[in-house]
Amino acid sequence: MSGDPLLSGVVDLEIVLIVVGKVVFTFAFLMVAVMFMVWFERKVVADMQNRIGPDKAGPWGLLQTLADGIKLFFKEDLIPDRAERRVFILAPYLALVPAFLLFAIVPLGGDFNGGGAGTVSIAGHDTFLQVADPPIGILFALAMSSIAVYGVMLAGWSSGSKYPLLGAVRASAQMVSYEAALGLSVAAVVLLVGSLSTHDIVAWQAGAGPGGVLPNWGILRTGFVPFALFLIAATAELNRPPFDLVEAEQELVGGFHTEYSSIRFALFFLAEFMNTVTMSAIMVTLFLGGPAGPMWFGVLSPTIWFFVKLLCFLFAFVWFRGTLPRFRYDQLMDLGWKVLIPLSLAWFLLLGAIELARDEGWNPVVVVGGGIVVLLAGAALLGAAVDKARAVDEGAEIEEPVR
């Protein structure tokens, strides 16, 4: 495959307008999705806590976010005296713009069933239902989510205040740590697909899977572990509970955005929820087949399936928040470095060995068995090393090794 067929021919005004239309639609969708997500989160968390939640503004309180947004726009905008002014003003946009850009590579629809190219026809032109399909695809997502770290970090640093600074320090350490696990679980998918393009990743998952009953989705073909790792790492990357140490209210007032008010605070808020939506969309794309699904609702059904899957993830994030208490900082780092990264690396190697065995025609049972034995040995070694290090840390007596 070689990118969007829309741009393969002569690019005239009509095609430019189609692209602009897609951009505007995606932008509008994201804004509405954020509005919905804020309301949805407040409502569902309220339900989980036997409360009612917002219900005054509009039907079922749907317009509550709009009301909050308008209120924030008209609030007094403060910049602290000790703030680094230019960086302080820049930081919210550094958080917001990557959140927008991230969504550009997500395929929102198109029929991939039965070897379909996943194109739709707009005004006589075949095109992908995604803003852009760059060859680097999913790497772009990783790059953007890394840039978002700068927004949080610079916001905390430039506030000229201690709690935001602590929040920023936590943010940079946490997001850099979990970026590794995130990247490695993406790599597991990319290894099997053989392409970085999100369109190719979705096309790879189309149709019926092994056995003809189960779907052909990445979550099954990569063996579930990369999906679980990605979900955990994404939650940490989004600074959502239970990994919200960056803005832990009880410890850091508001973390990196303590000194922000008015529209600047609204931008951070927007970016945070937008990232939640986009990360969910990336997960749907990588592991749940994107818009794949039976064509029950005509030409719109891939898009409907996409949104249904997206909603499941949004609910999952709210569910996490309603259920799990916040991690302690050392627990967070332990989980990231001693569990997620080794596990994702090991699973990546195992998938690589299986792929190689298939190409070379080796006996798959031997390869998988041998691989698992090697990985278990590695896990045992790592566990022993971690235990030893912990014992040294706690000043406990270390037994003499038995000869």
Partner 1 sequence: MGYLDGFRITFNKLFEERVTGEYEIGTGEKSPKPERLHGRHVLNRYEDGMEKCIGCELCAGVCPARCIYVRGADNPIDDPVSPGERFGFVYEINYLRCIHCDLCVEACPTEAITESKLFEFSFLNRADAIYTKDELLVDDEGRPRQMPWEDWRPGEDEHTSGWVRATAPAGDHRYEGRVGWSGELGYGVRAPEAAQTEKDASSAPPASSAPADHGGGH
Contact, 288 vs 219, CB < 8 A?
A: yes
Contact, 133 vs 202, CB < 8 A?
A: no
Residue number, 29 or 315, with CB nearest to partner 1: 315
CB of 19 vs partner 1, minimal distance in Å:
42
Residue number, 116 or 242, with CB nearest to partner 1: 242
Q: What are phi and psi of 125, to 5 degrees?
A: -110, 135
Question: Closest Cα to residue 130, out of 142, 112, 148?
Answer: 112
Residue number, 297 or 319, with CB nearest to partner 1: 319
Q: How distant, in Å, are the alpha carbons of 177, 213, 239, 332, 366 from that of 221?
A: 26, 14, 28, 29, 19
CB of 317 vs partner 1, minimal distance in Å:
13
- Which residue type does 152 have? V
Q: What are phi and psi of 78, to 5 degrees?
A: -110, 135
Neighbours of 326 (CB within 10 A): 16
CB of 66 vs partner 1, minimal distance in Å:
17
CB of 319 vs partner 1, minimal distance in Å:
6
CB of 76 vs partner 1, minimal distance in Å:
11
Question: Closest Cα to residue 82, out of 168, 163, 158?
Answer: 158
Positions touching partner 1 (CB under 8 A) are 44, 47-52, 55-56, 319, 322-324
User: Within its chain, how far is the Cα of 196 from the centroid?
Assistant: 16
Q: Mind giving me the DSSP string for 102-126?
A: HGGG-------GGG---EEEETTEE
Residue number, 243 or 306, with CB nearest to partner 1: 243
CB of 72 vs partner 1, minimal distance in Å:
16
CB of 300 vs partner 1, minimal distance in Å:
29
- Which residue type does 170 have? R
Residue number, 56 or 86, with CB nearest to partner 1: 56
CB of 242 vs partner 1, minimal distance in Å:
11
Question: Closest Cα to residue 151, out of 95, 108, 104?
Answer: 95
For 119, the 3-state DSSP assignment is strand
Q: Which two tokens stand for residue 49?
A: 């806590």
Residue number, 51 or 390, with CB nearest to partner 1: 51
User: Within its chain, how far is the Cα of 288 from the centroid?
Assistant: 13
H helices of 159-291, where? 162-193, 198-204, 218-221, 225-237, 249-252, 262-287
CB of 376 vs partner 1, minimal distance in Å:
22
Residue number, 48 or 169, with CB nearest to partner 1: 48
Residue number, 5 or 58, with CB nearest to partner 1: 58
Q: How distant, in Å, are the alpha carbons of 1, 192, 202, 229, 323 from that of 217?
A: 20, 12, 9, 16, 28
Residue number, 36 or 320, with CB nearest to partner 1: 320
Residue number, 7 or 48, with CB nearest to partner 1: 48
CB of 44 vs partner 1, minimal distance in Å:
8
Contact, 347 vs 69, CB < 8 A?
A: no
